[in-house]
């Protein structure tokens, strides 16, 4: 198992280097989206309306950050269960999504879409939202404010600690 310090802007090009179980310290831009934000994105896609983010090479973190305090952009930003987004992930991957961050296993359809698109699924440690929040430098709500903590947010992160859960060849940490 290897360790990688990567920027999100390089992730799509370097995904093929990553293997299941590798440690990744990710920096750059990440978007948060949970169930309701995914539904809102799909309404836009289905109506051929513009999206509030460019999916090409993007990274989506399945999280709903808590409000920050003082200079802290958020107090906690832990992953939610990724399988809840399995019905959305293949289409987003086919539209250019480079990676997803969450926790827990993914469906066979998601694994196949990861392989088809040379993408990667990264796992964050569940229950460690306060620790993960230390990697978040900036947080900006960019769409769907009516969804509260589930609104679409853009994060700037530095060295967020992650593990490769599913690599671009289909290796799956949950099915060894």
The question of whether 140 is a catalytic residue gets the answer no
Annotated catalytic residue within 38, 103, 106, 153:
38
Secondary structure (DSSP) of 13-59? HHGGG--TT-EEEEEEEEEE--HHHHHHHHHHHHTTPPPSS--TT-E
pLDDT score, position 148: 92
* pLDDT tens sequence across 58-107: 999 999 998 888 888 989 999 999 999 999 999 999 999 999 999 999 99
Ranges of residues in the chain with a pLDDT under 50 are none
In order of their start, the domains of the chain are 3-166 (3.20.130.10)
């Amino acid at each position: 198992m290897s360790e990688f310090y990567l920027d999100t802007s390089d992730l799509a090009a370097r995904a093929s280097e990553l293997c299941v179980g590798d440690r990744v310290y990710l920096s750059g831009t990440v978007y948060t989206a949970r169930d309701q934000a995914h539904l809102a994105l799909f309404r836009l896609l289905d109506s051929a309306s513009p999206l509030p983010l460019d999916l090409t090479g993007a990274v989506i973190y399945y999280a709903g950050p808590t409000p920050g305090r003082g200079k802290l952009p958020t107090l906690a930003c832990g992953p939610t269960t990724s399988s809840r987004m399995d019905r959305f992930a293949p289409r987003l991957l086919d539209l250019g999504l480079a990676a997803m961050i969450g926790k827990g296993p993914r469906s066979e359809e998601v694994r196949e879409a990861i392989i088809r698109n040379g993408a990667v699924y990264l796992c964050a440690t569940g229950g460690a939202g306060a620790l993960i929040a230390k990697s978040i430098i900036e947080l900006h709500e960019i769409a769907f404010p009516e969804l509260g903590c589930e609104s679409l947010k853009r994060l700037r992160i530095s060295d967020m600690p992650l593990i490769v859960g599913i690599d671009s060849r289909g290796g799956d940490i949950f099915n060894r």
